[in-house]
Structure 1
Amino acid sequence: MSWISALAELQQQGEPCVLVTIIEERGSTPRNAGSKMVVTAERIFETIGGGHLEYKAMELARDMLENRSQDTRLERFSLGASLGQCCGGATVLLFEPMGQPQAQIAVFGAGHVGRALVPLLASLPCRVRWIDSRENEFPAQIPPGVEKVVNDEVVDEVDSMPPGSYYIVMTHNHQLDLELTAAILARNDFAYYGLIGSKSKRAKFEHRLRDRGFAADVVQRMRCPMGLAEVKGKLPVEIAVSIAGEVIATYNATFGEHKRSEQRKKAEPVTRLLPSSRRNQA
């Protein structure tokens, strides 16, 4: 598959990747400037020449994916000295993150509010897993980029989400809501947890969670009622808009803090390949 076809397919699937491009070459190199490679967490498409250079590029790209980096990056490689390749030249690679979701969201419940909410979340830069034990509750058409999960053991799906995920619980069963809440709070590594319900439901859950040994500061992280208080209404779409607004506000704040943290890190200097005259001037 060509790199451009791979990008289109990955975008449709909602799978993040890094586009690696040779933007400058000096001396003998395995591929010319303009050559591209697409790297995902498990696959590669096209090649920038193979060998140790390609291995290092894949390693760096996958590190960017793991850290959800949104920034482009330039790296210079000397093929002889540092990589042990016989070409002996040098090259500069551009790394461009593509389709990196800012939030990974698990939505538990395919009822009326879930069916109104999931299409809204699917239109955002998020990866959504929509989970329910009832196959017939899902609509015939699932929004693009949304993974439908039918599992009788719904609570087991909590462990399949990565750290920093967003959880939204709105099932048809209060006891199931409680078990999901306990599993999510036990992880305590989420960016957001929202539980549909009233203030009285929250009070009952807080009491039961305290009986199970959960600390007050952990329980306090639960959003219930969830959604923006400014968005009024009881229609499923109104509730969905309220919840989506709160999720957007949360991930914008979280992503902004992540960006500031990245900027505070000591950046490695990037050496551009300059003509010899300009290198001497530098």
Structure 2
Amino acid sequence: MNIFSEAAKLEEQNRPFALAQIVDSRGSTPRHSAQMLIRDDGTIMGTIGGGMVERKVIDEALEALKEKTPRLFHGRMARNGSDAVGSDCGGAMSVYISVHGLRPRLVLIGGGHVNRAIAQGAALLGFEIAVADIYQESLNPDLFPPSAQLLYADSFSAAIDKLEIRPDNYVLIATNNKDREALDRLVEQPIAWLGLLASRRKVQVFLRQLRENGVAEEHIARLHAPVGFNIGAETPNEIAISVLAEILQVKNKAPGGLMMAAAHPSQHLRVVIRGAGDIATGVALRLYHAGFKVIMLEVEKPTVIRRSVAFAQALFQPEMQVEGVIARRAASAQEAIGMAESGVIPILVDPLCESLSGLKPGCVVDAILAKENLGARRDLAPVVIALGPGFCAGQDCHAVIETNRGHWLGQVIYQGSAQENTGIPGNIMGHTSRRVIRAPVAGVMNGRVQLGDIVSEGDAIATIGETEILAPLSGMVRGLLNDGLVVDIGFKIGDIDPRGASADFTSVSDKARAIGGGVLEALMTLMRQGGKAKEEVLTVA
């Protein structure tokens, strides 16, 4: 067998390999024209002359396979100096190293109608396809592309073991009645993309169960569910297009959205939000879905209660996902701009807004909700919007958004201030202040339960130092501070929702959505208005 026959065989198997070709040689070298094939385990076929230069090329080829990028290697047959390979021949050679057998692998858990359509579409896109099912009739070869690997097993757990899923694989679960079994086996595995084809209600149930079983938020955040783009898909082929579009977006690191939408001013407008708690997150989602490039500023250790719906959690874990939108920590203004352009919401540690000069936002939203002005000024950006009491529209900012629950929640105020803070939490099933948990002592906070847990009145839900914190009423733990934070007496540390299992702690609240709507209205109104503010907003890139 020659090199090209072996290359064709490996390509068919989608096994990574590199081809090394001498493209230039000068002086005394082992070979002047030769090729060598390097497999991903370091074994070779052919030779470019042996010795130290060949060893160097093999190492370079393995690095190229790891990075999935071709490269040009320069080597001098010398002991010392630049490009020296440690031999005494005295010549030099250049070797081009190309990489092959790197088709992305799509693993479909379940062989039903939708996964069959996805397999057919993915084959046209160049994916290596593997399909597993526990029903032999679901794996009829006539229903799948000829190159697809079809694997039958007694259980999906056994099938997943046999599939040897790798970190660079894309995996979709669509088994109908065995989704949870497959999800349990895969949710903590490092995978490039993990999707679940399920209804929103089913997803919420699964997420709650995963948290009850102690699955870390960083693993749960990687799950894409419900999966696919919202294009009104109903048939298996339509759903396949929706799902494959999301997989391609992740694979290609693309922001998504309509190509024609870039002409809208919001596509070019950068908005900085001060704070990344649950209300600020609701605002961020409204603006993000309207097409704005959102960047959020926070303190190093934010005291966020409703962590499951707060982008601030990205400062405590690799990334945070809320309602399908991902946030990650950014190390600099430049990195934040790049992340925002790619469709990710960046979180910068910058409580003093020192990054604004580099970010050059068209709008700043003060969403700290401190009940007082902690540095908002009209000159921070062409448009400045503030939430709640402590601000005066026309002086501190261009608009204030009402945050008190009631008839005027979400109202945009262009002159004057919001209502004063009542200090009384929103009423849920007759409970107001009682459902909010405050620290009885000062110290280090550590939780004993997870968000979404159902507790009874008197259950221990946390400790501050040696002091146990008890649930003031029965219901769902909807909010709880991160472990390890230092709190003072009277500090808000948790929140119990008396609605219990019917409460939803995985999506932003009605209050956050209403306030977010007010911010969006204010921003669009100020953008439409004439004068200097409008001109500056529309010219910010």
TM-score (norm 2): 0.42
Query: 2: distance between equivalents of 1:149 and 1:94?
Result: 38
SS at match of 2:95: strand
Which entry has the higher C-alpha Rg, 1 or 2?
Answer: 2
SS at match of 2:215: coil
**Which residue is 1:133 aligned to?**
134
Query: 2: distance between equivalents of 1:236 and 1:94?
Result: 44
Query: 2: distance between equivalents of 1:179 and 1:93?
Result: 49
- Give the superposed CA RMSD: 2.5
1:26-45 matched pairs, under 5 angstroms: 26-33=26-33, 35-42=34-41, 43-45=43-45
SS at match of 1:105: strand
Query: 1: distance between equivalents of 2:47 and 2:233?
Result: 53
SS at match of 1:186: coil
1:157-236 matched pairs, under 5 angstroms: 157=160, 160-173=164-177, 176-187=178-189, 189-216=190-217, 218-230=219-231, 232-236=232-236
Q: 1:86 to 1:19 in 2, by over 3 A?
A: same
**Which residue is 2:94 aligned to?**
92
Conservation of the 8 A alpha-carbon contact between 2:36 and 2:47: yes
Identity of aligned residues (%): 29
Q: 1:145 to 1:83 in 2, by over 3 A?
A: farther
1:1-282 matched pairs, under 5 angstroms: 1-33=1-33, 35-42=34-41, 43-67=43-67, 69-70=68-69, 72-81=70-79, 82-85=84-87, 87-101=89-103, 103-141=104-142, 143=145, 145-156=147-158, 157=160, 160-173=164-177, 176-187=178-189, 189-216=190-217, 218-230=219-231, 232-253=232-253
What is the one-letter code of the residue matched to 2:135? R
Give how far 1:144 is off.
5.2
Conservation of the 8 A alpha-carbon contact between 1:106 and 1:166: yes
Give how far 1:217 is off.
5.3
Q: 1:57 to 1:135 in 2, by over 3 A?
A: farther
Query: 1: distance between equivalents of 2:180 and 2:153?
Result: 17
Give how far 1:205 is off.
0.9
Q: 1:40 to 1:143 in 2, by over 3 A?
A: farther
Segment drifting more, 58-67 vs 152-161: 152-161
What is the one-letter code of the residue matched to 2:72? L
Q: 1:55 to 1:146 in 2, by over 3 A?
A: farther
Q: 1:145 to 1:56 in 2, by over 3 A?
A: farther
**Cα displacement string for residues 186-240 of structure 1 (whole angstroms, at most 9, x for unaligned residues):** 23x323211111111112212211221224454343222211112x232211111
What is the one-letter code of the residue matched to 1:161? I
Structure with more of its chain in helix, by fraction: 1
SS at match of 2:102: coil
Aligned residues: 247
**Cα displacement string for residues 143-190 of structure 1 (whole angstroms, at most 9, x for unaligned residues):** 3553333333432526822224322001142xx311221222223x32
Query: 1: distance between equivalents of 2:7 and 2:25?
Result: 24
Give how far 1:115 is off.
1.3
Conservation of the 8 A alpha-carbon contact between 2:53 and 2:75: yes
Conservation of the 8 A alpha-carbon contact between 1:104 and 1:166: yes
Give how far 1:112 is off.
1.3
Q: 1:92 to 1:201 in 2, by over 3 A?
A: same
Conservation of the 8 A alpha-carbon contact between 1:13 and 1:144: no
Query: 2: distance between equivalents of 1:56 and 1:120?
Result: 41
Q: 1:36 to 1:237 in 2, by over 3 A?
A: same
Q: 1:242 to 1:62 in 2, by over 3 A?
A: same
Q: 1:64 to 1:133 in 2, by over 3 A?
A: farther
Query: 1: distance between equivalents of 2:78 and 2:217?
Result: 58
SS at match of 2:244: helix
SS at match of 1:182: helix
Query: 2: distance between equivalents of 1:233 and 1:107?
Result: 19
Stretches of structure 1 lacking an aligned partner (at least 5 in a row): 255-260, 262-282
TM-score (norm 1): 0.77
Stretches of structure 2 lacking an aligned partner (at least 5 in a row): 255-334, 336-541
Give how far 1:52 is off.
2.6
What is the one-letter code of the residue matched to 1:41? D
Conservation of the 8 A alpha-carbon contact between 1:100 and 1:125: no
Give how far 1:60 is off.
1.5
SS at match of 1:253: coil
| Higher RCO (CA < 8 A, seq sep 6+) | 1
What is the one-letter code of the residue matched to 1:74? L
